[in-house]
Chain A
Amino acid sequence: MKGDIYIAAMLGGIFSGLLSGIPGFNLGNCLCCLWVISGGIFSIFLYQKSSTIKLDAGDGFAVGALAGVIGALVATPLDLIFSYWTRGMIMKFLEAYGGEIRAYQNYFTAHSFAANLSLRLIIFAIFSAIGGAIGTALFKPKADSNS
């Protein structure tokens, strides 16, 4: 049972991490961390789909939090990679419109990465945990689906 929970949390985390890290898709998080909450709900969906055990809100909260941590670990490097890839375009934009170039350049330092990762770990864990708790109200296990 525990193994399944970890797999579900990992898949939910990868789901939220990919959508939160890819430019364009990550705008969904502007709507109250949509992908992060969805990652927690998705992990519960995956677990309940293959299990006959009903998770309560606390279990969902814990699984969602784990999914959030994995999501943050996926999203942060992905975001950095895409930002580094598009930095030339963004620098031109900042130069043209008088943006803070130095602040943007600092984004690629190790300190900034660590701060970004720490902040995401906290926010993703909280919102994904809430998503997990909500997910337990939405999905029932296979055998329990008729009750």
Chain B
Amino acid sequence: MSSIITLNDVYRGYKMGQERIMAVNGISLEIEEGEICCLQGPSGSGKSTLLHIMAGLDRPTKGSIKIGNTRIDTLSENQLAVFRQRYIGFVFQSYYLIPTLTAIENVTIPLTFCGVPKKKRLQRAKELLEAVGLKDRMKHKPSELSGGQQQRVSIARAFCNNPKIIFADEPTGNLDTANKYEMMNLMTSLAKENKQTLVVVTHDVEISGFASRVIKIRDGKIEKIENGRDQNDGKMA
């Protein structure tokens, strides 16, 4: 297996008043294609910052990030946007759906930005919403959906342009336990189906059960890398 994400000695510093804080403090890491990887750590450990840097949402103070063969830390903002369109999908803790658009419209947005024709967009969105079990909720606005349903929509949105990598930032943070497992099962099975790489940031130890590799982060550094409990089918009873 070849590595799809390569971090080489990455630093990210912030200024907090007079103090300078290193949120990411020299991390080198390789994530392999098709891997389901979990970045785990307490809040403030720098795991979210690391995710943002890997996804090209934030830039490192020092160090390089390669996705595939592309150095994304040197890309312009527009190039990054196109890069994200093609290769990356996102799932967020608070779903980040557009409140005025229906579920199906929300799912089609990334395809809209890619310039995919409307018919194709809607068809693809329908497929995905069916896959996440929201067949009869397509015309509903986010406010008419439960938290779990909203997160399903956001998962459908992340997968809809068939990205190589899906980044999930605390995807289960706002969900109850039943929904949490369901959501993780959904994401991992979708990712495995299409041989996509899934990077999940969480502080929840239970989530790590879904991962093939768990990277524990503390104070901006890698504390420990563990192989996940479930390497074979990514499912938990």
| A and B co-occur in one complex | no
